[in-house]
A and B are shown apart, each in its own frame.
Chain A
Amino acid sequence: MSLPPYARLLGVTLELVDDLPQIVMPFGQHVVGRPGFLQGGAIAGLLEVASVAALRHALAGETARIKPINGTVDFMRGGRDHVTRAAGEITRLGARVATVTAIAWQDDRARPIASARMNYLIERAGR
């Protein structure tokens, strides 16, 4: 699975953990909002990359275009100057629409800094 140019701007990498994709984002000035904290947009971007990675993984190589319909991002805690990880979980993968819930965390996955629920239109090849 390759990540888009925007993922390279964020400086994220993809890791497979227990055979599921996780997106890892080191801290840096390029993702800072107020001093010492991650910008909400960078966290949202990380959640978006994790959501699409989870979908690509679930589609398992099937040729499909993934188009965002809408999404809601909840910010639970400030993102500090640590590595942030994010993973998406497929809530529903239908023929045309998929819903993904993603969370981002730093030290403890049980204490997420943000979550997102995203809806995507799936355009499968040949349909």
Chain B
Amino acid sequence: MDWDPTTITRYLLETPSVAGHGGRLGQHYHAHGDDWVEVAQPWHADLVGDEDSGLIASGPIIALMDIATSLAVWHRVRSFVAHATLDLRIDYLRPARPHQIVIGRGECLRITRSIAFTRGIAHDGDPDDPVAHVAATFMATAGHYPRVGA
């Protein structure tokens, strides 16, 4: 099957029988380029972590960045590969504006035989003024990633 990041993102997040946590959070495909994929997390009252401020909890942002960076790995190898998140570090650079959609952009830095290194940002409109920065690594659970050029 030809690789299409739009189709797989919509399949994973927007197909009711498939979409689990990301679907419950209301995440959906946003955009992609040659070497990045963006997933959107609309604001919803259910996602609030601090009722005084109305700020979205950090859990949905981590979930958003986990899927965005995962998609970036698959986009790099141009196929879906079963993998597991090894670790994810997140820096909360500033609060997201309440009621604002948050966009998670994932990029794959490098893929070795069994490990993928990624980074990503979350922003609420301006990618040059991100709300969070993440670094995440993944491990191919069934052995190894396909080889990619460069």
Interface residues of A (CB under 8 A from B): 4-6, 8-10, 29-34, 38-42, 44-46, 48-49, 52, 65-75, 78
- Which A residues are in CB contact (< 8 Å) with B86? 74-75
**A70-B20 Cα distance, complex, nearest whole Å:** 26
Query: Do the beta carbons of B62 and A44 come within 8 Å of each other?
Result: yes
Query: Do the beta carbons of B59 and A32 come within 8 Å of each other?
Result: no
Query: Do the beta carbons of A4 and B57 come within 8 Å of each other?
Result: yes
Query: Do the beta carbons of A40 and B66 come within 8 Å of each other?
Result: yes
What is the total number of residues of chain B having a CB less than 8 Å from a CB of chain A? Answer: 34
- Which A residues are in CB contact (< 8 Å) with B82? 34
**A72-B50 Cα distance, complex, nearest whole Å:** 20
Query: Do the beta carbons of A32 and B51 come within 8 Å of each other?
Result: no
Query: Do the beta carbons of A5 and B47 come within 8 Å of each other?
Result: yes
Residue of A5, A10, A33, A41 with highest tally of chain B CB at under 10 A: A41
Query: Do the beta carbons of A65 and B52 come within 8 Å of each other?
Result: yes
- Which B residues are in CB contact (< 8 Å) with A45? 57-60, 62-63
Taking a contact as CB atoms closer than 8 A, the residue among A39, A42, A48, A74 that contacts B87 in the complex is A74
Query: Do the beta carbons of A4 and B49 come within 8 Å of each other?
Result: yes
**A31-B25 Cα distance, complex, nearest whole Å:** 9
Residue of B45, B64, B86, B88 with highest tally of chain A CB at under 10 A: B88
**A66-B95 Cα distance, complex, nearest whole Å:** 12
- Which B residues are in CB contact (< 8 Å) with A8? 46
Q: In B15-62, which residues have CB < 8 Å from any A CB?
A: 20-22, 24-25, 45-52, 56-60, 62
